[in-house]
Amino acid sequence: MKLTRFTDFGLRALMYLGAHPGRPISAGEISDRFRVSRDHMMKSLQALDAMGLVSATRGRGGGFQLTRGAGLARLGFVARTLEPSLALAECFEEESTCPLTGGCLLAGALGEAQAAFFDTLDGYTLGDLVAADGPHLVQLGGLRVG
């Protein structure tokens, strides 16, 4: 059971940006801090931009910042939107070849469990996570060399 890397990186980018308010932060800085691919991090940042959670400024000194109100976004909403597919199992997919599709209680149980997953995440806003982790993240930022 796994979220995609796309969602994983997106969530971490939001946390990093939330802990470093007041200046645009480049995709390279974020990916360096998390030791992950800059290209993949950039794709997640672009999705966050499209969702209105971050805004980008171009040019020298440019980068990404959280938009006003991003801290109010619920974590379940963010994860649900970033995940490219919510097809938990083959039977959830449109081209499913499972002969039980339609009348299957298993799919219903899995769907209910998935809803519980995202509902639980909706109990947290980005602001909740950043507020608690801010000092830790800022400390990490302070350790950054260069």
Using rule CB under 8 A, residue 1 touches a copy of itself? yes
Compute the least distance from the CB of residue 68 to a copy of itself, in Å.
21
Between CA 50 and CA 105 the distance in angstroms is: 36
CB atoms under 10 Å from CB of 20, counted, come to: 22
Compute the least distance from the CB of residue 58 to a copy of itself, in Å.
28
Between CA 114 and CA 117 the distance in angstroms is: 5
Over the window 61 to 90, marking each residue x when it contacts a copy of itself by CB under 8 A and - when it does not, the resulting string is: --------------xx------x-xxxxxx
Compute the least distance from the CB of residue 93 to a copy of itself, in Å.
10
Q: Are 81 and 14 in contact (CB under 8 A)?
A: no
Separation in Å, CA 23 to CA 65, 67, 87: 7, 12, 38
Q: Which stretch, 44-52, 55-63, 64-72, 131-139, contacts a copy of itself (CB under 8 A)?
A: 131-139
Between CA 101 and CA 59 the distance in angstroms is: 51
Between CA 146 and CA 131 the distance in angstroms is: 26
Site residue total, a copy of itself (CB under 8 A): 53
Contacting residues toward a copy of itself, per CB under 8 A:
1-5, 7-8, 11-12, 15, 33-36, 75-76, 83, 85-91, 97-100, 103-106, 109-110, 112-121, 123-124, 128-129, 132-133, 136-137, 140
